[in-house]
Structure 1
Amino acid sequence: MLLAAVTGAVVVSVVGYGTKPGDLLYASFYLAVCSVAWWAALRLPPGPARRPWLLVALAQTLWFAGDATELVNFYVFADVPSVGVADAFWLSGYPLMAVALTLMARRRAPGRLRSGVLDALAMTVAAAAAAWQFLIEPQLGQGYSMAETVVPVLYPIGDVVLLAAILFVALSPGARTAPTRLLLGAVLLYLLVDIGYNALPYVLDYSVVERIGPLILLGNAAVVAACLHPARAELTTPAEPTANLHPARVLFLGLALMTAPTLTLMHAGFGRAEIAALLATALCASFVLTRFTIAVREQERTQAQLAYQAQHDPLTGLANRAVLTGRLERQLSAPDASVAVLYLDLDGFKQINDEHGHEAGDAILTAVAARLSSTVRETDVVARLGGDEFVVLCPGLPAEEAAELAERVLQELAGPVAFRGVRLAIGASIGIAAHQGTRPCSTTALLREADTAMYEAKRRGRGTWVLGGTGAGSTAPHMAR
């Protein structure tokens, strides 16, 4: 779609935008883009994730209706009013697109948009100030009628609203891959075209200015390409909180701070004193923003450390009980869930603690954690529940393969652990519980089944495994020698 729009824009530019063949080609490509926009939106399942794309398709359609109205006025009625129905269509598309983008931002970060909104508003206010000075204020007091004065002013206002909405999306937490970049690029193209139509006639002939019109095709196609992209869900799916104080974000905030003083001096004139004041303001803003960035980065590092500590066992670095139960709940909540749990309890650990001290016990626990992590699959989760109890969560692993994994774990743990020149013998008893999605199952029930199987393994002689619910188990114990 994007490639087709690029081709269309180039063809339109070559044939001649503003001529009848060029305008017909432009309208044909634009109609195709609108059709694909509706198809892309309607193929999504009904729900909150589809609503923004429906609004996007409606906005595209209104903009196309404005272009079509303008073409009819020109080629059929030979009369293009300075203000007319086409403007009503064009202006109606701005709030719809802005609402669509805002809905995406709210879906990405429900209840967590405060920092992004504040930063976006700061940048938007700066853009609004520039729009007022260069685009809006010159339109006022020119002796035009009320409609001829108000309508041209509404376009820069619409651009500012669109800018705020796309900044909400860009500055919200979550991934910023191709779909987000396509939307950002589309809105920037809209803004460039609108600014060009308003500002360039002061320095260029309008026959040259209108050549930028085909860029609209690229923007519209980029929006549709974002909806068709396989990763489009990133725009409407709640995202994990992220540390998002990117250097570019600080740079744009600094530019926003400098906008008002710069515009004021541009209006008053640049003398030596004014330039010195502007440079001093820029330096102060740079220092303050740098200090602010350092403070925020330190806070982010502290938060990351606290988050890690809240999710990991401090001795072994393994996941803790909270992480294990959370992952297991998500696995069991999936349709046709398939998951296995290995519940391990070390054999002879208390004796080692009593004879060699707690440091030896810590060495055993650390060694067991390392051996478990190196034995299981990358997709498995190894957790320490406390004391000498460990759990391995194995998504998508059937019971037979879980038993094979238990055998490998027992063999790996059977080797002695060296501690201060002493070889400490250690082993484990493993209980296995497997869920294949054939019946409802809770996290508590599955862990209880594995725990019960583990105690049965200990009763049978330790160094063994038992599959819960079946009584099957290893035939020979695996003990350190």
Structure 2
Amino acid sequence: MAWPRATAPAWPVHAGVLGLSAAAVASYALTGPGSRTVIFALVTAAPIITYLAAIAARHLTDRLPWLIATAGMAMLTLGTLCWPDWIPGHHLGRAEGGGTDLVMAGAHVLFLAGTAIGLRRHGRKDPGGLIDAALIGLCAAGPLGAWLIRPGLVPDATPLGKMLLLSDLLLLSAVIGCLLRIGVTAPKSRGPIAYLMAAGILTLLCDVVAVLTVHGSHVPTAQLMMVAYLCVAAGPVLPTGPHVTRPAPGPATVRHPPLGWLGAALCANPAVAAVQAVQSDGPASVVLPATTILVVPVVVLRLRLLSAQRARAERTLAHQAHHDDLTGLYNRRHTVDRIDEELRALDDGPLAEVTLLLCDLDGFKPVNDRMGHQAGDTVLQEVARRLTAAVREQDLVGRIGGDEFLILLRGEHPGGGTTVADRIVESLRAPILVGGTPVRIGVSIGTAVARAGAVVDRETLIARADAAMYEVKAQRRLTATPA
């Protein structure tokens, strides 16, 4: 079976959802109790059929999240068949905490687990945005539960039933917030995300309507639930359905919600509690403290994430302030500062000797001219690697110019700077491969030594190394010139 490509039109799916929703709503309202049970069971089976068909056709390549969601939908279908009076008997709105409530809660947990696994890649790209969206969703659940659901609960609602209804409310609100954020940051997935959001919102409305109509007709509750099932079935089978679990490459570019929005959301539950206290409306709903308690660890997680992001940014800035972007070696500023530190250490006594090696590459300019700057960058990176390998861990290697490097040997070195210079010259004689082409360069090294008790500053020491380097270059030219 060939599934429509991502570029295929989505209107057939939209038309199918509208048509099936209208047919399900109308037929449920017009038929008798026996037929209603069959209609409701068939609608709950729709997501199972579409998910399995999309997986079998390899349209949904990330199988695990969709299979977990399918298991949740199968549990709901099984619950409908085992307890056909679940909705007609108003068990959903009574918060009884019985078998039907447990089945629904377990099914929702499975479906939400599949959704969480499917959206984990979006979380890697935009963790802060998803946490902010979940916070706003959680905080929105407080007023919804306190103002709409709590006043309509029947007196014989059990603590377990209230807890299950509250957990359903909180989880759905948080997931809706996350889906909204993903829809904003991932344009290619907006179609299926919109269907999943619609399913979550309709399920929330179903919870509210079931509580408010517990002494009336159950038909609106069943109709809302059926449309929610059809939305769940439609999202992943859209041509763009795979994008739900496969976000586009690159970081999320949408900014986080303003802090004012987050502050207003966090104030929602205390504000509702304050209004209830002023109106002497009895004790505050359990929704408010439960939601607040749940929000606290999410806020702590957000603060931890911000702290980690700040620490990474500080480390990055510190590295950029002291290192060369191309080679990763220390830059000129850090190198000269370290020379000053080591010369002060000579005066104070901890060090007995400091050796400076000034290295200038020979034959590097023709590489840039002949092969381009990218090839030159490759050569410089390889030179940096070989220079680092030629010295000890306590020594310093820095890049102070285009093709100029400076090596600072701390303390006495076996053989002195001459031994290190010979080792560097030998190391750079080996060709460097640039795009499969061997490139040969040389190096001229000037050495300057400062010992304890000698009065010398950084400029003088660098000048000595520079003069020694040009002397090496001059001798090399004389050697290369025929007599």
What TM-score comes out, normalization by structure 2 length? 0.49
TM-score normalised by structure 1 residue count: 0.49
